[in-house]
Amino acid sequence: MGGQSRRLAVLRAIVEDYVATEEPVGSKALVERHQLGVSPATVRNDMAALEDEGYIHQPHTSAGRVPTDKGYRLFVDKLSTLKPMSAAERRAIATLLDGAVDLDDVVQRSVRLLSQLTHQVAIVQYPTLSRSTVRHIELVPITPTRLMVILILSTGRVEQRLVELGHEAGEDELAALRVRINQAASGVRIADAATALSTLRDDVPHEVAGLTDEVVAVVTEAMSDHRSDERVAVGGAANLARYGDSFDSAVRPLLEALEEHVVLLRLLGEATTGGGVTVRIGHEGPYSELASTSVVATGYGPSHEAVAALGVVGPTRMDYPGSMAAVRAVARYVSRILDES
């Protein structure tokens, strides 16, 4: 192999060894552990060249070398192939996620699963209301003057509201209103559905105008409930205990960040689907105090539409191919559940 490709092979070996052993990697260990097909002197020269180019550096207390952010970046972009999920891992994903009873449960199970698969801190954003479409609106009479309004969204989210009516509503009135409301809102994005519903009373007979107003007001309020747009679930913080040697630089700032959901949402970044997994390494992230951590994230949602993001975050010394494969696999599975629900 040529000098450049051999140097890349040496870099890959350094990254893989450092992630696996947690120890800076020396030329002797590389020659022993990897069939690089060249002399130790050549490996030492390659390591010197990689160091000059900024891909590896020497921690001051050690003879070995460790990858820099730039080295990890090259590894992720050029050298890493995603590890396929094992049959056991795929079964674990299916078994755990298929048992979920509702959207909250899907999110909580996904976080647990991701942190178990990657041994990192997992973050799953709750699907944002603003990106959803209305699947169905149901009106259920409880008493003649009390209605349960159920709003079902494309993300699997369900909002329920009670309406106290000004006067009794007959079954025929309710049936007609149910049809009109669903004609206006079903399959429509939240913001557009709210607009369509606001013009509904102009088209209804005046004897049901009052009922229409009462129901539309409640549905619109349920649609504009943005509390969950800033919510994330976090799991696996205990995995950070494995990084005791980098506590001050990587672990402490990350533990503090886990308290701040807005910070975590920015860490995850913009959700994109289509199988793309985003990797932000060290200084590439949005926060300088988290410069010793990396984020592996992707979007998820029904029908290839990203309604939220999920991923893992941890010190830069992470198993990138394994983390990327797990993040992608869990996102695909959650998307499938949302498609079917």
Question: Residue ranges of the domains in the chain?
Answer: 3-79, 87-126+231-340, 132-227
**Nearest-angstrom CA–CA distance, 327 and 253:** 23
Q: 141-178: per-residue pLDDT in tens?
A: 999 889 999 998 887 778 899 999 888 888 888 888 89
R_g (Cα) of the chain, nearest Å: 26
pTM for the model? 0.79
Percentage of the chain with pLDDT > 90? 44
Question: Of 120, 112, 80, nearest to 334 (Cα)?
Answer: 112
Q: 74-128: per-residue pLDDT in tens?
A: 999 998 888 889 999 999 999 999 988 888 899 999 999 999 999 999 999 988 7
Summary mean pLDDT of the chain? 87
CA angle 234, 235, 240 (to 5 degrees): 110
Helix (H, G, I), strand (E, B) or coil at 306: coil
pLDDT of residue 37: 84
Question: Is 223's pLDDT higher than 80?
Answer: yes
Dihedral sign computed on CA atoms, order 148, 203, 189, 125: negative
User: For 132-227, CATH number?
Assistant: 3.30.390.60
Q: Which two tokens stand for residue 36?
A: 């690089």
- Structural contact between residues 248 and 256, judged by C-beta atoms closer than 8 angstroms: no
Q: Which two tokens stand for residue 318?
A: 């992470």
Q: 225-234: per-residue pLDDT in tens?
A: 655 567 899 9
Q: Which two tokens stand for residue 7?
A: 């140097």
Dihedral sign computed on CA atoms, order 99, 104, 109, 114: positive
Q: Going by DSSP bridges, is the β-strand pair 134-143/146-153 parallel, antiparallel, or unpaired?
A: antiparallel
The residue type at 189: R
Q: 31-46: per-residue pLDDT in tens?
A: 989 988 888 899 999 9
Provide mean pLDDT across the span 209-229.
79
Percentage of the chain with pLDDT > 70? 96
pLDDT of residue 226: 56
Q: 325-334: per-residue pLDDT in tens?
A: 999 999 999 9
CATH code 3.30.450.40 for 87-126+231-340 = yes
pLDDT of residue 341: 62
CATH tag for 3-79 (out of 2.120.10.30, 1.10.10.10, 3.40.50.720, 3.40.50.970): 1.10.10.10
Q: Which two tokens stand for residue 20?
A: 């696996």
pLDDT of residue 273: 59
CA distances from residue 75 to 143, 177, 269, 303 in whole angstroms, order as listed: 64, 59, 21, 32
Poorest-pLDDT segment among 19-23, 47-51, 262-266, 276-280: 262-266
pLDDT of residue 250: 78
The residue type at 33: R
**Nearest-angstrom CA–CA distance, 98 and 334:** 9
Question: Is 2's pLDDT higher than 70?
Answer: no
